[in-house]
Amino acid sequence: MKQLSLFIMLLFATTCLSAQEISQDSLETYELEDSILVIGSRYQTTLKRVASNYQIISAKDIKQMSTHSPLQLVDIQFPSAYVLEKRVIGYGVGTDGAGTVNIRGMGGKPNSGILVLLNGHPDFMGIFGHPLPDVYGTDNIQQMEILPGASSTVFGSNAMGGVVNIVTQPNFSTPLNISLEGGSFGTYNAGLRLAKKFGDYGGSISIRTKHTDGHEPKTSFTSFNLQTDWLVQFNPVWSLSFSARYVPYEFDDAVRADNDTANLGTYGKIERGTGEIILHNKFNKLTGSTQVYANMGKHRFYDGFKSNDFAYGLSTYQYWEQSKLFQFAAGADLMQYGGKAENRLSTLPNGQPSVNEDNKEYRSFGAYLKGFASPVQMLQLRAGARVQYQSENDWNWAPTAGVSIFPVKNIQLFANYQFGFRLPTMRELYLFPSANPDLEPEKSDMYEAGLRFDYLLSNSVQLTLYQNEIKNMIQPVPNPNFPPPPKEIFQNSKDDKQKGIELQFLNKWFEVLNTMVSYGFLEVDYLTYLNPKHQIKYMLSFNQYGLAVSVYGKYVEDLYANNGFADPMQDYHIINFSTSYDLGNIELNFKLLNLLDRKYDYYPGYKAPGIHLLGGLSYSL
């Protein structure tokens, strides 16, 4: 527990340094009503009405600290988040694929308990239900939002543990950008981006390729990312945006050993394509958007498994500011998703196919209404509900309620009840012999209470206590009728209770120096998979005269690679260093990762790379 003592010392130092700048007579306060936010691209509100540990990660931070994905910043900056890495760059997919995002004890394997949004619409693999983290490049990202805790009232299925929304927007201030990075283990990352605005129209195209030989045998990764965007501003009220992406990638994994039944030459080859068309409206008191979107993919693996999946959707979301006293957010979404899989090279011991080759597709419809009321200045009330229909699970509903009290304008006390649910995936319902068509949705009741104090414009401290009560967890259990196969079948077999604490300090001094120190505590009954009990995270960033320097790290204690406290992993503490220098048209950058050369495992059988570097330059016009 020496690291916890270090954390207390860091908090003490942060408090003391802040105190040096604050006198009792000159304390400035931050008006919470000042900041306008758009939550998950669904509704506009103010910081005052966000009663949770909601965070926005800027494009600048993503550029400064990520090496291949914006999801790395979820792990770096959010107190109770844990993101699994297994390679120098790239995540991959598979039975134990990386890129798993756990927030507040929820995530799952595969990672269908956290909902990832791309410009406000759900992004997931149509058969397995998990997000595709290698599709989310770092180009054209405007910001990333993290909304922790059960959030199905507004966002629907899969928002059991929270929501991550990646917002993209072309950067027209730099019409041309060329970047090239290289580093340890045969790693390179090269990109070209063109952007141009023509009056009320604007478009961009970006191309990027990434590769690493890997720090261990069979940890290579190669990807190509093509993205195009087009924007039209019809008038002050109406605008239209279009985005499309095509991302083929391939990766290896040590789990395949020397086996390559399909003669693929690697563990897996993936092709993904996504796109959306969004119509934005901004009236005096009514703001929102309507969009159509698509997500398609083709997956092939070394053992002969192949799949084609899709997800198509239509959604509309509106926010109505009826008055200063009452506001309403409402929305509806329609989705059709599914796919087909096969494995002609694998059969069960009884000769039956190991994969159900039927072409399946499901339909889902949901609608929600959420209201905000401020009967007096120091009180804000929230309540809402969603109804959700899915062709395999009939109707579900998700309520929410909350209250905030403001004893003074820069202090917020809040309490919330939020509900989350996850519809069973096609993998769990029909795909493999372990499937069970009678599964019920997983459900989670989340209770949280907290305090937020904002001071000196950009400084804040937030404390949140939460509890998750999870029901109908879908888990593989021994098959009572075995033999014949399968040995295990999916059942709604367990409940779980989780308790946690999030504490975070954000401080800014002299307009050039930022610090973040956070602590996450989590206690669970059963769901220990990638849910460490203690996490300490810290970051120090300096930015002046074109020079940017960041030092950031984390300490992880009591981590397990499986549920039920199975497969314990060693505790570890890593520190990273990142710097860049802006010379005008040219920017130099350098990252030194695992600065202390710590020896630890990402996952059983997967050693983390020791100290390694990545450096390069970018040219902008």
At 241 the three-state DSSP class reads strand
| Cα–Cα distance measured from residue 372 to residue 380, given in angstroms and rounded to the nearest whole number | 7
Q: Are 398 and 420 in contact (CB under 8 A)?
A: yes
| Residue 222 CA: distances (Å) to CA of 134, 206, 247, 299 | 10, 17, 11, 15
The two tokens of residue 215 are 């720090």
Q: Can you tell me whether residue 34 is helix, strand or coil?
A: helix
Q: What is the pLDDT of residue 32?
A: 41
Q: Which residue has the tokens 């619409």?
A: 121
Alpha carbon separation from 348 to 256, 301, 561 (Å, rounded)? 19, 18, 28
Rounded CA gap, 466 and 31, in Å?
26
pLDDT digits (tens, 9 = 90+) for 427-460: 999 999 999 999 999 999 999 999 999 887 779 9
CA distance 535 to 7: 10
Task: For residue 15, give both structure tokens.
Answer: 């408090």
Buried b (16+ CB within 10 A) or exposed e, 173-187: eeeebebebebbbeb
pLDDT in tens, 305-360: 999 999 999 999 999 999 989 999 999 999 999 999 999 888 888 778 899 999 99
Structural domains in the chain?
A: 2-620 (2.40.170.20)
Return the structure tokens found at 586.
Answer: 């040219």
Reduce the secondary structure of 466-530 to three states and give it as a string. EEEEEEEEEEEEECCCCCCCCCEEEEEEEEEEEEEEEEEEEEEECCCEEEEEEEEEEEECCCCEC
Instruction: Using the structure block, give the residue that is written with the tokens 């996504």.
Output: 274
Classify residue 409 as exposed, middle or buried by CB count within 10 Å of its CB (0-12, 13-18, 19+). Answer: middle
Cβ neighbours for 482, distance < 8 A, ≥ 6 positions apart = none
Tokens 């519809």 belong to residue: 423
- Where do runs of H (alpha helix) occur along 141-287? 152-155
Task: Tell me the sheet residues that pair with 329.
Answer: 319, 370
Place of tokens 């058969």: 127
How many whole angstroms separate alpha carbon 560 and alpha carbon 534?
Answer: 12
Q: Write down the residue that tokens 């400084």 correspond to.
A: 459
**Pairing between β-strand 141-148 and β-strand 55-58 as defined by DSSP bridges:** antiparallel
State the Cα–Cα distance between residues 400 and 415, nearest whole angstrom: 11
Residue type, 332: A
What is the spatial distance between Cα 577 and Cα 593, in angstroms, rounded to a whole number? 6
Tokens 């928002």 belong to residue: 159
Residues in a beta bridge with 44: 38
All residue ranges of the chain with pLDDT < 70 are: 1-51, 95-96
- Res 19: pLDDT: 40
Give CA–CA dist 130/112, Å, rounded: 5
Q: What is the pLDDT of residue 479?
A: 87
Per-residue model confidence (pLDDT) at position 411? 92
- The pLDDT score that the predictor gives to residue 20 is 42
Where do we find the tokens 């604007």? 202
Give the per-residue pLDDT at 9: 46
Residue pair 618/581 in contact by the 8 Å Cβ criterion:
no
What pLDDT score was predicted for residue 46?
Answer: 59
In degrees rounded to 5, what are phi and psi of residue 595?
Answer: -55, -35
Q: Which two tokens stand for residue 221?
A: 């990764």
